């Protein structure tokens, strides 16, 4: 009913205020706050609940939104259980101030919030007035917890078993058992874990058990008052709940420590002081537990994202209180109500009248009561009551409540809103005690008793108790009592309760002034808490001191609505044809055109200020809003029409484009189908035509084949007949020709023999024998030429020959081998580098063949000069500049074997034309340099290891003053040891014309350090060892190498 409706259209209701604030925040991006004020018991808490319920009902829906709304709503039962209590004026009175900022997204959906609490009445934990109760959570816990839980908490269900809960134990309007289950469920919804709920109940149980602790006083021999604990079991129960040492807590309740420069002094406490310390501890635990509950609720409902948000604040703070005995708590509460009343006056009565004058509107001033002087009396930085109360608490010397009263009497005696027995006209006033003073608040006179003002303002907890709580096993207590940490010990005094509350109220006022305020004034109808019973005098008194009468007079005489010209023109420009859609003149003239179009006349209906337009009657605003709604409907219809036309045009364009696409694709499909059909038909025709042609060709080819076959048969038979005929003729001719030849042969032979019979044996015989021998030799040489071996000198094959040619064959085999060797030599002479490598391989063969097992594995591996890229490295160039040795014979990484323990160290070996250099591997710095002429011998083992020993001639090294002589012989390990030794052997042979001795033996004697005894090096072959990594061990004067 009240949703999105003007608040003046329907009867007044909290929903109307909430809807106006919500719509202004959502539609106009104006942060709002709803200030709920009134006396205690007037219904402020219920009003805040209705505001929350309305916001939850009208805002959006969604899984996350519903979760946030449920948490915001369920935070109320938790805060009421821990912060509300029954008083004589109200069964559910808020004993703390609450300000909740609800944050919304751009759509108006709640996304989170934050709660600020102000001044919990913690004194209610230990004492209550007659007919009042402690906080609800204590009674709910005893009534709603199961027997097992109560037994675990060391509690009894009977309320009167606990002095802190004595008095009124039952309230007709409440069911503590159901409320407890609702509270625990609400805590789970808000985000409390079962462990956190259990810990909070344990702390509450500890407070009740501490309340049962009794103190018995006695006197020490030196006359000092002391006390002891009577019922120790309750201390044990409390320590069990707190996780604290019973001895430590007992000592803190009966003694107080003082630190001097040298010692720690323990002072015993009297019985009354022990009770005070116990109550102070219980109040501190509950107060900090309540702050922790608020903090946990804030952690659950706070906004997690950083997006831009809108806010609506709801202020539900304790109302103005006047009791039979008003103390420090009532003084603070009434001060807060004075500040709220000041905000109300500033934002309504004062600011509105000042605005009329500022805007140049004719206005007759309406008098009202301004409570700024009362606020100044209380909060003035130097002369205010709060400032003097803090000074009394902090000044050295004996400061009591009486000295505080005397001081404010001296400073405030002349103030018109202050009364005391120190004033002459109130000396005989029996309603005003000698320890009391009276303030005339905006709501009436209130008499305050100064007893306990200083102690409550100090809000001081002995450091022994803080340290004891910090030492408890419960992690929550360490969080609640951080000042008990010995590491963070400080001598700085904590701020007083009045200072803290004044700062909180000041921050609250700034927050309220930064938002657009909305007011809900709660009027208490009677003091008997009865429905439908109005006490006229009580209601009139409240409406008078709340300033409602002056506010109504200002509203009636003033204007119901005002707005800046720019904002009014933006909101209502569619009501005039001249201002729609865009006004190009001054905003003020545009607003006049709008009013003229609506039929409104000035000054009866509205007035024009300097920057704002003021509308007098709400009906004018209703009419303009109604016109705007109708016009907005027309505009929306136009927008819808235009959009729908554009949408249909876009749809038509899309359909047309789709039709074109479909048509083109269809035509393409038809043509492709037709083409495929024609192509397939052509293929079929081609297939049959080619088949016919192939069959014709096949028949032709078959005919040709058959004709060819027939011709062949005919020719075969013809040629056969012809050949047989020719054969018969030739056979006949040969037969007769052979007979003729034989006859001729024999005849001619006879004739020759007849003529030469005497000379044949002497001449023809040797010629025939020589011819036959030459023919046999020619056949031998021809067969040998066809079966010669390959050109490789290693090929030992030779063809088998007859015994007649064995000598010739051996001689020819030698000639053939020499020819092959000459051919190889000619190829090496044409390539010098290849010749050099071959000579190195030949030298290696001469040195190691048949002597070192590793040699056979290195035959097929070509020798290299530089295996580490030495020549192109800048570090080598730098070293060349120092040593002037540019020729590199061989370079590779190696490992130097330590002479003492056989450990291996990476090194770089470089052999130049004149020396052997040992370089460190990282920067290639020169560690050792040995002249090649000083190397007398190189020793190796016969196994497959890669270790070699370079023996340095001590005589030559000493004569040349070689710095490497002090190191003696060297032992290295390198996988290319065959190559390295061959290179050194060759360069020494070429450069120094001497032969380097290469000793291959499994026992070698080396002199690693001149002057010391030689070291015997023994090589031992092990079948299980890894030959690639020999193991070197030093044993006495011998070095054993297992390979």
DSSP letter assigned to residue 713:
H
By the 8 A CB rule, do 908 and 951 touch?
no
pLDDT at 91: 84
Peptide bond into 175 cis (omega under 30): no
* Catalytic pick among 39, 80, 202, 321: 321
Cα separations in angstroms, 203 against 79, 134, 178, 242, 474: 17, 15, 21, 7, 10
Which of 59, 76, 87, 94 does the annotation list as catalytic? 94
Distance CA 470, CA 480 (A): 8
Q: How far is it, in rounded angstroms, from Cα 984 to Cα 962?
A: 19
712 among known catalytic residues? no
Catalytic residue among 37, 38, 39, 41: 41
- The single residue of 93, 200, 300, 496 carrying the catalytic annotation is 93
Give kind and range of the element (H or E) at residue 191: none
Catalytic-residue membership of 94:
yes
User: Cα dist. 949→736, 974, 998, 1017 in Å?
Assistant: 97, 11, 10, 10
CA dihedral 400, 403, 404, 407 (to 10 degrees): -170
Closest CA to 16 of 520, 522, 558: 520
Q: What is the predicted pLDDT for the residue at 962?
A: 47
* Res 352: pLDDT: 67
d(CA 760, CA 743): 22
Q: Which residue is catalytic, options 37, 38, 39, 40? A: 40
| Annotated catalytic residue 45 | yes
Angle, helices 463-470 vs 271-301, to 10°: value is: 50
Using H for helix, E for strand and C for coil, what is the string for 1014-1043? CEEEEEECCCCCCCCCCEEEEECCEEEEEC
Would you call 976 helix, strand, or coil by DSSP? coil
Q: Partners of 255 in the beta sheet?
A: 268
Known catalytic membership, residue 40: yes
Q: Closest Cα to residue 436, out of 403, 405, 457?
A: 405
Report mean pLDDT in 10-residue bins for the chain, 1043 residues: 68 85 83 85 85 85 82 90 87 86 87 86 86 90 92 90 81 87 92 92 93 90 88 90 90 84 81 90 92 92 80 83 83 85 72 70 64 85 86 81 87 87 83 87 86 82 85 88 78 77 84 83 83 84 73 64 79 82 83 81 73 76 79 87 93 94 94 94 94 93 92 90 87 81 84 69 72 86 86 82 86 89 82 81 86 86 86 86 87 87 88 91 88 90 90 67 60 90 90 88 85 83 65 80 84
Within 10 angstroms of residue 870's Cβ, the number of other Cβ atoms is 21
User: 293 Cβ partners below 8 Å, 6+ apart?
Assistant: 78, 79, 82, 200
Which entry of 48, 59, 75, 90 is annotated as an active-site residue?
90
CB atoms near residue 641 (< 10 Å)? 10
Q: Is the dihedral of CA 779, 782, 783, 789 positive or negative?
A: positive
* Per annotation, catalytic residue among 113, 319, 384, 590: 319
- Closest residue by Cα to residue 121 from 85, 166, 91: 85
Q: Which of 37, 45, 337, 607 is catalytic?
A: 45
Distance CA(805)–CA(795), nearest Å, equals: 21
Record the pTM: 0.58
């Amino acid at each position: 009913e009240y949703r999105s409706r003007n608040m003046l259209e329907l009867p007044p209701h909290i929903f109307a205020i909430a809807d106006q604030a919500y719509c202004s925040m959502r539609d106009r991006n104006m942060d709002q706050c709803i200030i709920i004020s009134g006396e205690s018991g007037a219904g402020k808490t219920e009003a805040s609940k209705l505001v929350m319920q309305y916001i939850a009902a009208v805002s959006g829906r969604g899984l996350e939104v519903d979760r946030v709304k449920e948490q915001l709503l369920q935070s109320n039962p938790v805060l009421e259980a821990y912060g509300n209590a029954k008083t004589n004026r109200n069964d559910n009175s808020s004993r703390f101030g609450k300000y909740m900022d609800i944050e919304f997204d751009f759509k108006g959906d709640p996304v989170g919030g934050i709660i600020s609490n102000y001044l919990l009445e913690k004194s209610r934990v230990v004492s209550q007035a007659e007919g009042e109760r402690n906080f609800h959570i204590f009674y709910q816990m005893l009534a709603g917890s199961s027997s097992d839980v109560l037994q675990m908490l060391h509690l009894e269900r009977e309320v009167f078993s606990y002095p802190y809960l004595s008095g009124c134990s039952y309230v007709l309007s409440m069911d503590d058992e159901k409320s407890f289950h609702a509270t625990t469920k609400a805590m789970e919804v808000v985000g409390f874990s079962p462990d956190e709920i259990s810990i909070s109940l344990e702390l509450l149980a500890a407070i009740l058990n501490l309340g049962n602790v009794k103190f018995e006083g006695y006197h020490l021999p030196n006359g000092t008052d002391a006390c002891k604990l009577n019922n120790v079991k309750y201390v044990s129960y409390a320590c069990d709940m707190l996780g604290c040492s019973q001895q430590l807590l007992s000592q803190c309740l009966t003694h107080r420590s003082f630190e001097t420069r040298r010692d720690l002094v323990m002072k015993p406490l009297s019985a009354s002081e022990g009770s005070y310390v116990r109550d102070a501890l219980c109040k501190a635990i509950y107060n900090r537990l309540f702050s922790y509950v608020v903090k946990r609720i804030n952690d659950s409902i706070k906004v997690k994202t950083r997006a831009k948000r809108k806010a609506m604040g709801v202020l539900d703070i304790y109302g103005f209180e006047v009791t039979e005995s008003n103390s420090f708590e009532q003084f603070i509460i009434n001060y807060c109500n004075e500040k709220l009343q000041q905000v109300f006056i500033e934002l309504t009565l004062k600011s509105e009248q000042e605005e009329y004058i500022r805007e140049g509107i004719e206005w007759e001033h309406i008098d009202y009561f301004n409570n700024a002087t009362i606020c100044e009396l209380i909060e003035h930085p130097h002369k205010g009551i709060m400032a003097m109360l803090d000074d009394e608490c902090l000044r050295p010397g004996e400061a009591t409540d009486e000295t505080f009263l005397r001081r404010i009497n001296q400073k405030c005696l002349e103030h018109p809103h202050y009364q005391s027995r120190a004033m002459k006209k109130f000396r005989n006033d029996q309603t005003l005690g000698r320890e009391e003073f009276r303030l005339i608040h905006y709501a009436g006179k209130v008499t305050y008793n100064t007893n306990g003002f200083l102690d409550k303002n100090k809000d001081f907890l002995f450091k022994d108790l803080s340290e004891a709580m910090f030492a408890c096993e419960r992690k929550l207590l360490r969080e609640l009592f951080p000042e008990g940490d010995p590491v963070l010990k400080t001598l700085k005094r904590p701020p007083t309760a009045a200072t803290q509350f004044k700062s909180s109220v000041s921050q609250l006022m700034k927050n309220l002034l930064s938002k657009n305020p909305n007011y809900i004034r709660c009027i208490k109808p009677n003091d008997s808490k009865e429905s439908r019973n109005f006490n006229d005098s009580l209601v009139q008194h409240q409406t008078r001191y709340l300033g409602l009468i002056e506010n109504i007079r200002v509203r009636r005489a003033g204007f119901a609505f005002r707005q800046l010209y720019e904002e009014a023109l933006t909101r209502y420009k569619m009501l005039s044809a001249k201002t729609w859609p865009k006004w190009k003149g001054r905003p003020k003239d545009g607003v006049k055109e709008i009013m003229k179009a609506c039929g409104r006349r000035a000054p009866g209906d509205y007035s024009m200020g300097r920057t704002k337009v003021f509308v007098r009657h709400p009906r004018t605003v209703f009419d303009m809003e109604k016109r705007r709604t109708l016009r907005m409907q027309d505009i929306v219809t136009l927008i819808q029409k235009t959009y729908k036309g554009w949408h249909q045009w876009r749809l038509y364009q899309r359909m047309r484009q789709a039709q074109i696409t479909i048509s083109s694709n269809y035509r393409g499909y038809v043509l492709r189908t037709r083409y495929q059909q024609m192509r397939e038909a052509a293929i079929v025709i081609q297939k049959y035509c080619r088949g016919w042609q192939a069959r014709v060709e096949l028949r032709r080819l078959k005919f040709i084949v058959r004709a060819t076959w027939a011709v062949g048969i005919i020719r075969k038979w013809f040629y056969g007949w012809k050949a047989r005929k020719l054969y018969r003729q030739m056979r006949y001719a040969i037969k007769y020709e052979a007979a003729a030849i034989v006859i001729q042969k024999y005849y001619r032979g006879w004739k020759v023999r007849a003529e030469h019979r005497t000379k044949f044996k002497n001449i023809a015989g040797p010629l025939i024998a020589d011819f036959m021998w030459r023919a046999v030799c020619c056949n031998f040489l021809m067969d040998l030429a066809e079966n010669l071996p390959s050109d490789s000198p290693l090929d030992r094959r030779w063809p088998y020959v007859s015994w007649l040619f064995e000598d010739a064959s051996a001689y020819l085999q030698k000639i053939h081998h020499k020819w092959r060797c000459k051919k190889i030599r000619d190829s090496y002479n044409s390539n010098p580098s290849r010749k050099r490598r071959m000579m190195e391989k030949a030298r290696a063969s001469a040195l190691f063949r048949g002597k070192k097992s590793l040699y056979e594995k290195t035959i097929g591996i070509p020798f290299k000069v530089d295996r580490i890229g030495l020549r192109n490295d800048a570090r080598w160039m730098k070293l060349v500049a120092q040593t002037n040795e540019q020729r590199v014979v061989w370079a590779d990484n190696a490992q130097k074997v330590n002479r003492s323990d056989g450990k291996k160290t990476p090194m770089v070996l470089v052999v130049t034309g004149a020396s052997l250099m040992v370089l460190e591997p990282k920067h290639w710095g020169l560690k050792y340099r040995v002249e090649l002429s000083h190397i007398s011998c190189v020793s190796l083992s016969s196994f497959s290891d890669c270790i070699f020993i370079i023996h340095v001639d001590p005589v030559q090294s000493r004569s040349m003053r070689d710095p490497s002589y002090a190191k003696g012989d060297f032992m290295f390990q390198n996988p290319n040891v065959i190559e390295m030794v061959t290179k050194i052997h060759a360069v020494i042979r070429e450069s120094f014309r001497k032969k380097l001795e290469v000793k291959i033996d499994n026992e070698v004697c080396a002199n690693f350090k001149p002057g010391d005894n030689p070291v015997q090096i023994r090589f031992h072959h092990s079948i299980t060892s890894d030959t690639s990594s020999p193991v070197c061990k030093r044993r006495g004067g011998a070095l054993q190498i297992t390979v």
